[in-house]
Amino acid sequence: MIGFGLTNAGNDRQNNRNMKETHVAQMLRNRAMKYGEREVFRYKKDKTYQSISWNSFRQQSEKIAHFLIEKGISTSSNIGIYSQNRPQWTIADLAILSCRAVVVPVYPTATYEQLSYIANETEMEILFVGDNEQIDKAVKVLDESEHLKCLITFDCEPNNDDRIFSFQEILDCDYSKHSEALKKQLSEGLEEDLATIIYTSGTTGEPKGSMLLHQQFMYAFQIHDQRLKLDEDDVSMCFLPLSHVFERTWTYYLLHCGATNVYNLNPKAIIEELPKVKPTVMCVVPRFFEKTYDAIQQTANKWPKAQKAIFDWAVKTGQQYIEYEKDSKKAPALLNLKRNIANALVYKKVRQVFGGNIRYMPCAGSALNKFLLRFFHSIGLYICYGYGATETTATVSCMPHQNYDFEYTGNIMPGIDVKVNDENMILVKGGTVFTGYYKKPDETKEVLKDGWYHTGDQGSIPAPDKLHMTERIKDIIKTSTGKYISPQKIELRLSESEFIEQLCVIGDNRKYLTALIVPSFDLIKSNLKKENIEVDSHEALIKHPRAVEIITEDIDKLQSALPHHEHIIHTTLLPEPFSIDNTMLTNSLKVRRKQVNEIYKEAIEAMY
């Protein structure tokens, strides 16, 4: 069983961590003083992983902070970071916070228009830029902005523009004349200081910048100490964008606990890197498990019947075992024996895909299919599934290790109040709730009322301290016949089909439901080949009657238990997946329904 609870020694460590710490930058410097030459970061360079010590982390951040002061940065200046994950991201983050300035993260995939909007609204003074993917857009914003003074590049080609400085160039120069000014700035840091403005890449509406104070992060660390076990021996893979509140807060929490963070520059290569890094923890989004499960199933389907039978038996055994484990009950001796055999034959091999050392994986961002939650638990991969938002400094609820329930979205975090109003909207109150949207008082008043954050998410509290998030209220469909339908519920059900990669249910103000479906191309192609049907492209596949029939038959089976008004009547197969690049997924991999409806408007109309 995965050790996940707190010990008395653990409580003592947490008490020591939180003593007199009210500011993130002060906390990070305290850890650097404590851990010295211990490894804090790891990153890939020339095909091998390199380390950065706590001392180096602190020294580099101080040098960058000295440069920021040289450039006139003062308390409350807004500084942007526009880059993929890398150690320099967090080094720059600490440097900015040390000056009591404000960090404004920008997604590395942001368009020029998105970057320009954020830079102009925040009156950004300096922007850190990742590499050549971002530099052209950043320079264009620099040319047009009234407030942006210069760019600092992490890994861009040399540029003769005297407004552009390389990160390494700054480290090689001496700006230590500002060391006393930096010390003074940091010593005056307050818990009420604004730490960051995080712009959500939401599914609807204009981007809004959530303002989070240092005290909200510090409070988040305290309550996570009561729920999670994380210590100096843990290694995490930094996989989700640091510009997202989930990975950013998790990274801070790793540092708070003295753990090591390994930066993944290329999310598409994550499966290749996990066996090399062998992380013990790692935060992910549901899409990660959907893709991984599909890959596991496709591999298993190619095995001989005997080997596939062993795999299925092992999964079934694990499913039986977790019914005892989740309630902290002792499993029968025979079941224990069967599980040990299944572990040796199957589970260990599957867990090697994740590096073999995973203790638990925090997961949030959207709904996770309960079938997948049970599947991964059954093979010994504990998913700490939960719910949160940018406006709540991430976590509102997450699964505890003991006495958890697969049907809900975790237990409400200690120190956080949650209730559901008459519209079944989830309301949150507590020390992690944001102070409002930057320069948007009207939007702030809409969601912050008497200290309660109105999330816009529908849910329930099915038992004391348990939370069940069901749907984004704006996503709920009302058909022309007056039926209210949760598209997410149907999508989760239909996503159990191995032949469906992605889907989006349509039906608002329509007389029946339809769906846009991205097929599992390789699997369907393989099935067609068995029937001596050859297709040479995605376009040919989605038009082939047999491919459509395979998916339709699976949908009919999966939706048979649903009420008739929740049945999908027509489908359209799509030739390419929803992605961030084609603007149909948010950076946290949620479907942008409005965008999908607009792009596939003609295809949708044809189904009606």
User: Measuring CA to CA, how many Å separate 11 from each of 227, 249, 299, 465?
Assistant: 11, 21, 44, 22
Summarize pLDDT for 264-323 with one digit per residue, the tens. Answer: 988 888 999 999 999 999 999 998 998 899 888 888 888 999 999 999 999 999 999 999
Q: Sorting pLDDT into bands at 50, 70 and 90, what band is 254?
A: very high
Rounded to 10 deg, the angle between the 305-325 and 333-342 helix axes is: 130
pLDDT band of residue 580 (cuts 50, 70, 90) is confident
| Residue 104 pLDDT greater than 80, yes or no | yes
pLDDT of residue 352: 93
- The pLDDT score that the predictor gives to residue 302 is 83
Residue that wins the pLDDT comparison between 157 and 541: 541
Please say if the pLDDT value at position 1 is more than 60: no
Task: Return the higher-pLDDT residue of 426 and 591.
Answer: 426
* The pLDDT of residue 411 is above 70: yes
pLDDT at 201 (0 to 100)? 61
Q: Residue 473 — pLDDT band, cuts 50, 70, 90? A: confident
pLDDT at residue number 484: 85
Indicate if the alpha-carbon torsion angle 223, 225, 226, 230 is positive or negative: positive
Of the chain, the end-to-end C-alpha distance in Å amounts to: 52
> What's the confidence (pLDDT) of residue 19?
53
Residue with tokens 């203790």: 359
pLDDT at 601: 94
Rounded to whole angstroms, the Cα distance separating 483 from 564 reads 11
Question: How is 335-368 classified by DSSP, letter by letter?
Answer: HHHHHHHHIIIIIHHHHGGGTS---BEEE-SS--
Cα angle, residue 410 at apex, residues 409 and 414 outer, rounded to 5°: 135
| Residue 85 predicted with pLDDT over 70 | yes
- Do the beta carbons of residue 292 and residue 351 sit within 8 Å? no
What is the average per-residue pLDDT within 49-65? Answer: 98
Percent of the chain with pLDDT over 70: 96
Q: 15-24, 117-126, 540-549, 599-608 — which is least confidently predicted? A: 15-24
| Res 10: pLDDT | 45
Q: Are 434 and 484 within 8 A, CB to CB?
A: no
Measured distance CA(153)–CA(112) in Å, rounded = 17
Tell me the Cα Rg of the chain: 25
- Which amino acid, 422? D
Q: How many CB atoms lie within 10 A of CB 290?
A: 17
Say whether 286-357+360-473 and 21-189 share the same fold.
Answer: yes
* For residues 412-430, average pLDDT: 96
Judged against a pLDDT cut of 70, whether residue 6 lies above it is answered with: no
- Would you state the torsion angle of the CA atoms of residues 481, 486, 488, 489, taken in this order, to the nearest 10 degrees? -110
Region 177-203: what's the mean pLDDT?
90
DSSP, res 466: B
Mean pLDDT within 233-249: 96
Cα dist. 604→505, 513, 543 in Å? Answer: 10, 11, 16
pLDDT at 575: 94
Tell which CATH classification among 3.30.300.30, 3.90.1300.10, 3.20.20.210, 2.40.10.10 matches the domain 476-606.
Answer: 3.30.300.30
Is the CB of residue 551 less than 8 Å from the CB of residue 571?
yes
State the pLDDT at residue 13: 46
Pairing of strands 126-131, 78-82: parallel
Q: What is the pLDDT of residue 478?
A: 85
pLDDT for 587-600, tens place per residue?
A: 777 888 889 999 99
Amino acid 36 reads: G
SS3 of 570, please? Answer: strand
CA 193-195-201 angle, to 5 degrees, is: 140
Cross-strand partners of 199: 209
From the candidate CATH numbers 3.40.640.10, 3.40.1190.20, 3.40.50.12780, 3.30.360.10, the one assigned to the domain spanning 286-357+360-473: 3.40.50.12780
- Domains of the chain, by residue range, sit at 21-189, 286-357+360-473, 476-606
The CATH number assigned to the domain with range 21-189 reads: 3.40.50.12780
pLDDT band for position 4 (cuts 50, 70, 90): very low
Instruction: Provide the token pair at 296.
Output: 């596991």
**Could you tell me the pLDDT band of residue 219, with boundaries at 50, 70 and 90?**
very high
Q: What rounded mean pLDDT belongs to the chain?
A: 92
Mean pLDDT of all residues in 172-193: 94
User: DSSP secondary-structure letter at 41?
Assistant: E
Q: How is residue 472 written in tokens?
A: 């984004």
